[in-house]
Chains A and B, each alone.
Chain A
Amino acid sequence: SQQGEEDPQALSIQEGENATMNCSYKTSINNLQWYRQNSGRGLVHLILIRSNEREKHSGRLRVTLDTSKKSSSLLITASRAADTASYFCATDGGSNYKLTFGKGTLLTVNP
């Protein structure tokens, strides 16, 4: 079964607004990652947050992690039309090798 579950499944916002996506997972983790996918192509790594970290920033991205609730959120600030894509969280399930993904959130940013 999939480790991560993103919420919402789809999100539509206007350019300039902030977008927040959530991810819940089931087992222990070493880290949680967020990826982006454009139009069914390969995924691109955005950010990794370790299990002992609570918040991490990268440019317009902010990721939080709450291991007690087994959840994470990805915030994209000041969104742009080019941010339109699918966003996935991924977890390792506490292993050193496996990497499993959730169902993804489809983000549409309208100009």
Chain B
Amino acid sequence: EADIYQTPRYLVIGTGKKITLECSQTMGHDKMYWYQQDPGMELHLIHYSYGVNSTEKGDLSSESTVSRIRTEHFPLTLESARPSHTSQYLCASGAGTGRHTEAFFGQGTRLTVV
């Protein structure tokens, strides 16, 4: 059982609000990821990190930002939420040596912006 936690599990907020989705892992993994998942299943990589103080944008343009000040913590922030941000957000951390990384996922945060 992977020890990666996302909070909150569900969130309903109003347009224009600033929110931070939390993600923490206790496994000491260097690599961490944020994905946005459409209702129709497809996962989009929006941010990733390969260690403290390193963050990269993923393949999907996103208005969110991330930070990696500590190994175990990789929060995602939306400065001004919009209805188009309504989605499920999945956080993952990566284990493995060298070029082969296996990802462990949290349970996700389902965000609704009204």
A residues apposed to B, CB below 8 Å: 1-2, 30-31, 33, 35, 37, 40-45, 48, 50, 86, 88, 90, 92, 96-104, 106
Contacts and interface: CB of A to CB of B under 8 A. Distances in A.
A90 B98 contact: no
**What size tier do the contact residues of chain B reach?**
20 to 34
A48 B41 CA distance: 21
Interface of B: 31, 33, 35, 37, 40-45, 48, 50, 56, 58-59, 88, 90, 92, 94, 98-108, 110
Given A42-B107, A43-B103, A96 B90 contact: no
**Per DSSP, are chain B's interface residues mostly helix, strand or loop, or mixed?**
strand
Contacts of A40: 37, 88, 108, 110
Contacts of B100: 30-31, 48, 50
